[in-house]
Amino acid sequence: MAFTTEERGDITLVHASGMLTMNTAPQLREVVSGAITSGARKIAVDLSGVEFIDSSGLGALVGSLKAARQAEGDLRIGGASSQVLMVLKLTNLDRVLTPHESAADAFTA
C-alpha cells in the first residue's frame, strides 16, 4: 500500500493504491493526521488505486473523517472501484462517506 499527498489549492489529495487492510489502515490514519496537523481542512482521499478494502480500511476512513471534522474540516472520498463501492454500500457507509466520481472533484460536487 502506498500513500502520497498532493496540494490542490485549499484541498489536500491523499492518493492510495493497493489493498487497504488491517496492515495498511494505520498508515492512512497517519497520513491524514499529518495533513490535519499541517493545517489541511479539506481532505479528499483518492481510492482509484485501491483494489480491496476490509473493515480495518473502512475504520481508518471513518476515523480520518472524524479527525477532520474535529479539526473543523471535512474528508471526502472519490474514485472508488466497484469492489470498494460494494463494501461501502453493504455496510451503509456510503451514507457517511459519500463516494464521488473522483477525489479531485469531491469538494466541487
Side chain identity at residue 101, one-letter code: E
Confidence of residue 1 (pLDDT cuts 50, 70, 90): confident
Domain residue ranges of the chain, discontinuous segments joined by + = 2-105
Helix (H) or strand (E) holding 55: helix 55-70
CA 50 to chain CA centroid, Å, is: 10
Cα distance between residue 34 and residue 99, in whole Å: 23
Percentage of residues in the chain having pLDDT higher than 90:
95
Instruction: Specify the pLDDT at position 109.
Output: 58
Per-residue pLDDT of 32-80, as tens digits, reads: 999 999 999 999 999 999 999 999 999 999 999 999 999 999 999 999 9
Q: In the CATH scheme, what is the homologous superfamily, with its name and number, of domain 2-105?
A: STAS domain (3.30.750.24)
Taking the model in full, what pTM does it have?
0.94
